[in-house]
Amino acid sequence: MNTRFIVNGVERDFAGDSEMPLLWYLRDHARLTGTKFGCGSGICGACTVLVEGKAQRSCMLPVAAVAGRSVTTIEGLAGPELHPVQQAWLEEDVAQCGYCQAGQILAAVALLKRNPEPGPDDVESITNLCRCGTYVRIRRAIARAAREMRR
């Protein structure tokens, strides 16, 4: 049976193995390569996407788990303008190598959706790893985005 779901506002109909990780569907079938493979075991967060607005590790999520649901990847985050989190990321010059950054941004978007005024402990709840150690700039960018989004 085909698996139907939405990715970045576009309906998808997948006839392949619904137990395949969503990450592989996004990268190999949908060609949305902004979602990265890091550890493949739910630890690093490089593969983070939004499912109905919540951050999820797509390497640990079978395609079947998103049947009938809406997935947002980094490619679908901006509208006519950048999302305020993306804008804050640019203004704080967060990225270094960039590999983890799509996942970090989507994790921040999910955090700010559930908590528009996150404190340090809330920000610490984002467990995505960054090998380049951009954590200080990530925290600054989240604070900046939170201010902008409350205006």
Enumerate binding residues for ligand FES (CB under 6 A): 37-40, 42-47, 57, 59, 95-101, 130-132, 134
11 vs 73 by CB, closer to ligand FES: 73
77 vs 117 by CB, closer to ligand FES: 77
Rounded CA Rg of the chain: 15
Phi and psi at residue 133, to the nearest 5°? 70, 45
91 vs 117 by CB, closer to ligand FES: 91
Tell the smallest beta-carbon distance from residue 123 to ligand FES (Å).
Answer: 16
Tell the smallest beta-carbon distance from residue 28 to ligand FES (Å).
Answer: 14
Tell the smallest beta-carbon distance from residue 43 to ligand FES (Å).
Answer: 5
E-assigned strands of the chain? 3-7, 10-14, 48-51, 54-57, 70-72
Bridge-based pairing of strands 54-57 and 48-51 is: antiparallel
CA distances to 38, 54, 93, 101 from 73, rounded to whole Å, are 16, 11, 21, 12
3 vs 104 by CB, closer to ligand FES: 104
Tell the smallest beta-carbon distance from residue 22 to ligand FES (Å).
Answer: 10
